[in-house]
Amino acid sequence: MVRFDAKAARETDRSYLDPEIVNQRLRTLQALAIRAGGNVLDAGCGTGLLAELMSEQVGDKGLVTGVDYSQDMLDLAGNRCSALGNVELHQGSVTELDFEADSFDAASCIQTLLYVDEVDTAIGELYRVLKPGGRIAIIETDWHGVVISSPDYQLTRVMTDAWDAAVPSSNLPPKIIPKLYVSGFSAVRAQAIPVLNASFNEAGYGASMIRYMAKNAVKKDLVQQPQADQWLKEIIDLAERQAFFFCVNRFLFTAVK
């Protein structure tokens, strides 16, 4: 399973400033339609980028509660949200939320469920802590459909398959809608949010992901370090010829309790 230590947390935070991921956060907020004075949960809050924006929407009379399993992620979130009196951060698991039933007006769970073994339990917990009529937004990625510019297709598949296998619950997007209905949600909707980097940015999301993939494949002994280095070099060489291309589809699911 992917572990987010301090270094990984910092790199994730940097890549999530990519304009494509900023757009994802804005679309998430639009879908949740958070009201001033609301009580909102960000389950799997990461480095606090979404929680920070949520705090603006709930205002002084509202509250944003962020939960994450990684203390390193929470440390960055704490720094980001330290001046926000309407944001609280807690370490915990989405499969066992330490809140009363019917507590929140809205909840988000962004790129979190893929790291969870018991996805049904997690969705059930999100349903439990939402108030009747509460809204949820879930985003997950279809890594089976990732597109990366590389001259070595077979090696690229090794890299992407190894990344898919690094999490306990891969390929979640086709499974989310029925799971939401089984948990009791209604008005379930889905929309695609492509993450496309057609130019190379060292700090961008696509560049970060190919580095993560190469490192993960070496760690799993699926490739040797020289192979991984060569794969990355060939992609960078393409980028220098204006031929870098990285695209993956994320899917935003919304529903109502």
Q: What whole-number distance in Å separates Cα of residue 67 and Cα of residue 140? A: 17
If you classify domain 6-256 with CATH, what class do you get?
alpha beta
Q: What are the domain boundaries of the chain?
A: 6-256
Q: How does pLDDT run across 47-101, given as a tens digit for each residue? A: 999 999 999 999 999 999 999 999 999 999 999 999 999 999 999 999 999 999 9
**Element containing residue 194 per DSSP (H, E):** strand 186-197
**Element containing residue 252 per DSSP (H, E):** strand 246-256
Residues 129 and 103 sit within 8 Å (Cβ to Cβ): yes
- HSE-up of 211 (CA within 13 Å, CB side)? 14
Contacts of 30 (CB under 8 A, 6+ apart): none
Contacts of 249 (CB under 8 A, 6+ apart): 141, 142, 145, 173, 192, 193, 194, 195
- HSE-up of 47 (CA within 13 Å, CB side)? 18
| pLDDT tens, N- to C-terminus, the chain (257 residues) | 455 678 888 888 888 989 999 999 999 999 999 999 999 999 999 999 999 999 999 999 999 999 999 999 999 999 999 999 999 999 999 999 999 999 999 999 999 999 999 999 999 999 999 999 999 999 999 988 899 999 999 999 999 999 988 888 889 999 999 999 999 999 999 999 999 999 999 989 999 999 999 999 999 999 999 999 999 999 999 999 999 999 999 999 999 99
